[in-house]
Amino acid sequence: MNKKKDYEEYIELEDILEQLKMCRIPALTLDIRWQAIFNTDEKSSKIAKLEKKVNEALKSRGRITTDKKDLIKVKKQLMNEIVRNMNSPENSRADKKIRKSKELIEEINNKLILLEDEELDLPSKFDEANAELALESMKEIFDKYEENQEDIETLEEWIEETREELKKRVALLHQKKEDNERMDKYLSDLIDGDIIRQYKKYRELED
């Protein structure tokens, strides 16, 4: 057994999947070339499932970005409210408003921490889903390629055989036309045209 063959026997799909994760492939579901191949009526259920998983990871990224932006905006408004009322008398309405704003800011900070933790997990979740989709896409592309290749070979063989048969039939056609022209000329030279016409009519009536 040669070294190349020996090496190939130890290749595992999990190893390929890990390599795909490390490649940081752009989101396949946003790639128009990927869409052209897989967004068809023949899309497999496995591709559809993995596509959904990638899209969910993308949606989560968008949701976290939007949520963080909204929370930071509210936090800024609360901070401005505190600054405007910081010299208010103790227990006044404005002072109570400051305490409430501080409580809300604390809640916002906690939410931002949770969102940042979720955001830290997102790249690995996305890379995992996208790599799985890439691996399944590669499998289905190879399957389809090999199927097409078999059909191509069959079609090429049929075309070659048909081409040869066509050549034979074209040659036969020309031969028969030449035979008819030769026989027609022979009869025309040998026998009067009226007799030939009468004989043709006789044959038609006999048929």
pTM above 0.85? no
Q: How far is CA 188 from CA 177, 180, 196, 197, in A?
A: 16, 12, 8, 11
pLDDT in tens, 140-162: 999 999 999 999 999 999 999 99
pLDDT in tens, 115-125: 777 777 666 78
